[in-house]
Structure 1
Amino acid sequence: MDPIADFLTRIRNATLVKHKVLTISHSKIKQEISRILLENGYIIGYKVEKINNKKKLKVALKYYKKDISVIQGAIRVSKPGLRRYSKYKKLPRVLNGLGIAIMTTSIGIITDKVAKEKRIGGEVICHIH
């Protein structure tokens, strides 16, 4: 199983049925992806809670006009069987700059825009738009 793909699928499914809060199992990479989604305005917030001695990540999804999700698409790019790496000069543009690419680099998990500013490449995890 791929936990990142599962996380993105749960977000897509939750937005389709208009859930306000999504609860999933916690991991550091899911928390970092949630942090980036919060910084870029795709979600309202997130927090880590301990439920039955297990950490859970609660993500508050963001909607506009009460029923249209801000996250229209979440696509996994780099998979466990086929990793996708990119140099900073050849980073993908998501929807001509309207979306973001989340990537993992030597300095941590960042967006494609930050990677271009810092002139650093890495593994492209997913595209969000």
Structure 2
Amino acid sequence: MAVTDPIADMFTRIRNAKIVKHDYVYIPFSKFKLAILKLLKEEGFIGQYEVKKTSLDKQVLKVGLKYTSDHNSVIKDIKKVSKPGNRVYFRKRNIGRTKNGFGLSIISTSKGVMTDRNARLQNVGGEVIGEVY
């Protein structure tokens, strides 16, 4: 069955794996998902990730989740903001801080996928993909 919103599916897989405290989660591969995972890794929300091949010559992303010393997930919540039926865009001057600076927004801009902080620094706006905190 085809997935209507692959990014929302990725966020849901991460959220579900976090709830049951899995060490890894497997996500179908796409370059856009890889760019988002790179951001999450740079910001310290996930551990390692790697591209693996399945037996059917398809690629999947193996994502390592990060936990604190008392076994709580580093990711408190991850959610999709812009949806297929309701796209959300921010102009460069309207990009605010997520959770008073304790979280981050993932924004797809003309200069690539970046955090809200980087979008403000580079003075660009774009579509708000999701929020992580």
TM-score band by shorter chain is over 0.9
2:112 paired residue number: 108
Shift of 1:94: 1.1
In the superposition, the TM-score normalised over structure 1's length comes to: 0.97
Q: Percent identity?
A: 46
Q: Secondary structure, in 3 states, of the residue corresponding to 2:83?
A: coil
TM-score of the aligned structures, taking structure 2 as reference length:
0.94
CA RMSD of aligned residues (A): 0.8
2:8 aligned residue: 5
Query: 2: CA distance between counterparts of 1:117 and 1:86?
Result: 14
Residue pair 1:92, 1:101 contacting (<8 A) in 2 also: no
Deviations 1:23-80 (A, max 9, x none): 1110111111100000000011111111110001000000002410000101110001
Aligned with residue 15 of structure 1, among 15, 18, 36: 18
Unaligned segments of structure 2, at least 5 residues:
none
What amino acid maps onto 2:85 in structure 1?
G
Q: How many matched pairs?
A: 129
1:92 aligns with 2:93: no
**Structure 1: tracts of 5 or more residues without a match:** none
Aligned to 1:44: 47
Richer in strand (by share) = 1
